[in-house]
Homo-oligomer: A and B are copies of this chain.
Amino acid sequence: MTDEGRRNVRDLRRANRARLLRQLYFHGPLSRQDLIQATGLSSASVSNVVADLLDAGLVVEAGAVESEGGRPRILLRVDTSCFEVIGIDVGETRIRLERFDLGLAELAALDLPVVGGSLDQEAVVAAIAAGLAELRAGAAAPLLGVGIGVPGIVQHQPYAVVHGQTVGWDAFPLEERLREHTGLPLFIDNGATTMAQAEMWFGAGRDADSAVFLLLGSGAGASVIADGAPFRGSTTSAGEWGHLNVQYQGRRCRCGARGCLEAYVGAEAVIARYAEAAEAAGVAGIDAQDEEETLRLILAAAEQEGPAGEPARSVLDETAVRIGVGIANVVNFLNPQRVIIGGWAGLALAPVLLSRIREVVREHALRLPYSLTSVDLGALGADAVARGAATLPVARLLEAGA
């Protein structure tokens, strides 16, 4: 029982304004006639609501459609220059801040390395505060808010608190700490979720209203979008796709259990399995600087003809199989319109493995849901997390309609 219901006539107007604004934001310039169709409102109401939005400066006229014998339709569009937003990607090794206009076109960016191996909380707060100050300086329009994607579970109680096991954050009160430095509205969410949000708005998830985004990096996570909104479990930690059990008494996973998907498909697992396979086959191992480099070399090794490439091919094939089974599970259980593979390891592996992955999905998924699902790569690059974070204040604006 969400308490978000409309109660009085003013709420009704707000809802209709939001509906109309949303339509204009996502479906380009539209005429009032188009809006009548799209929103189901009467022409009189559309005129009124549009007048509201024009007055507020959120919407502007944008030329006219050629006449077909009558008065030409005047096109309307959201004025993307009337507000700006800031999106921040707090990664494990660096913080990226970007400033966008309301249409999420990038206006400025800033990369801050975080000193020290781990993400020291004080350093993060100081870096964000400094970066915000710098980015604000160049703004040509009022800032709507700041969205932040963080590597961990976010709980709102009521201010955002971050639990980041991999970066050593235990109930880090990020929002309260940042409030000391800025009066801007803050929106904090998990980085995987913000990335999914960016893909939903501008990338591979456009025009879908249910999708599952798989994030293959060192490990394997997921973000589930249902009915256009992120699905959160009861404690907002849903999406641990990597810890689906796919093999009873299988490989040991770093979470302690056996047979987790993540013990087979994350970059860390692929690299470990290759090391074993190479040793068993008497092929030289790979010793590169970091995981990204190692993964590239394994992909290259698979191109070698003959027995030298055999371990790599075998490891990659099993990886494709496991990913495919993991996707089939998601397809059977959640039946999303799309499954999108992202994350740096996913984007590296999937181009090579995609057709094999799809084959395995087809074998293991039920016919009906499979036939209605597509499996694809993410369409946005590495800045999807920051961009997705920036969508958070914009989403708030679209919901409120003011």
Contacts and interface: CB of A to CB of B under 8 A. Distances in A.
A232 B231 CA distance: 12
A245 B369 contact: no
User: Which interface residue of A22, A224, A234, A368 has the most chain B CB atoms within 10 A?
Assistant: A234
Interface in A320-335: 321-322, 325, 328-329, 332-335
Given A209-B234, A238-B335, A163 B1 contact: no
A227 interface: yes
B239 A333 contact: yes
A6 interface: yes
Contacts of A62: none
Contact of A5 (B7, B15, B236, B248): B15
Specify how many copies of this chain sit in the oligomer. Answer: 2
Contacts of A224: 334
Nearest to A22: B1
A13 to B, nearest CB: 10
A234 B2 contact: no
Interface stretch (A63-71, A118-126, A359-367): A359-367
A226 interface: yes
Contacts of A336: 233-234
Contact of A237 (B40, B222, B227, B368): B368
A281 interface: no
Contacts of A367: 165
Contacts of A134: none
27 contacts: A1-B209, A2-B228, A6-B6, A7-B16, A8-B12, A9-B9, A153-B369, A163-B368, A208-B234, A209-B234, A226-B231, A231-B231, A233-B334, A233-B335, A235-B372, A236-B335, A238-B334, A238-B335, A240-B335, A240-B369, A243-B332, A243-B365, A245-B246, A248-B322, A257-B328, A257-B363, A333-B333
The 3 closest A-B pairs by CB, nearest first: A233-B335, A234-B337, A243-B332
